[in-house]
Structure 1
Amino acid sequence: MSTLEDYVVKYLESFSVIATKIPESNEKTPDFLIEQEESVLIELKEKTDSEEKHKEQKEVLANNSVYEHITTTGHNNRISGVITGGIKQLKNRKSKHNCDFCLLFLVANGVAQGSQAEQIQATLYGKKM
């Protein structure tokens, strides 16, 4: 499991929810399955920036300088594609696991996480800039 997947498992455990990792396969599958009072499939998607961007930010901040990153906060086609892909993965497995619910975790993990979170919200709600 990746560090992010470990974090999600620990987060859910803080609510006494046990998430089991679904083994990787050739078929696109959700990441986790919860089988407690209700059955829940979880797909985890991460929006991050390139390693170069993260390295640049780290170097600028290490020099006690101001790091500037400019981006839009409206609808984003790439995020829309990620959301659509996640939904397809959940739908493909929902009946197979006889799940009550499906949950799509979207994690903003870039150099401007606040802006990424706004992009995710704008994309989900159809907000245009």
Structure 2
Amino acid sequence: MLVRALAVWLLLFVIAVASGAARGTLLQPRLGEAKAHVVGTLAVVAIFAFVIWLLVPWVAPTLQPARLWQVGLLWLGLTIVFETALARWVLDEPWHKVVDAYNVVQGRIWILVLLTVLIWPSVAGALRR
């Protein structure tokens, strides 16, 4: 299960990177940064939900709720660690900018992606049972 969960997380990562590139080149020039962020984030959530729904039986064939929560927690942890490490140590963003990426008061709704990777494996499993 772990190897399959990691493989799907890598696929989600590739989707997120491609979406970010599309947002920056296609949406942002037309909509502005704030609207492009919202549209791009909602698109990622929808794509992630579909991919997770499609692949969750492969990741955890028994669709046991406890296993699916483990998968969601793994994906959440990997995503937070990766995003934080990338922003802080690769892109050299200051800590306040790293934290601001999750500030819904400022219109930053990326936290929906985190909630999707956490919750959607269990939701998809329940829908498929």
Q: TM-score, normalised by structure 2?
A: 0.30
Instruction: Give the structure, 1 or 2, with the largest relative contact order (CA under 8 Å, sep 6 or more).
Output: 2
> In proportion to residue count, which structure has more strand?
1
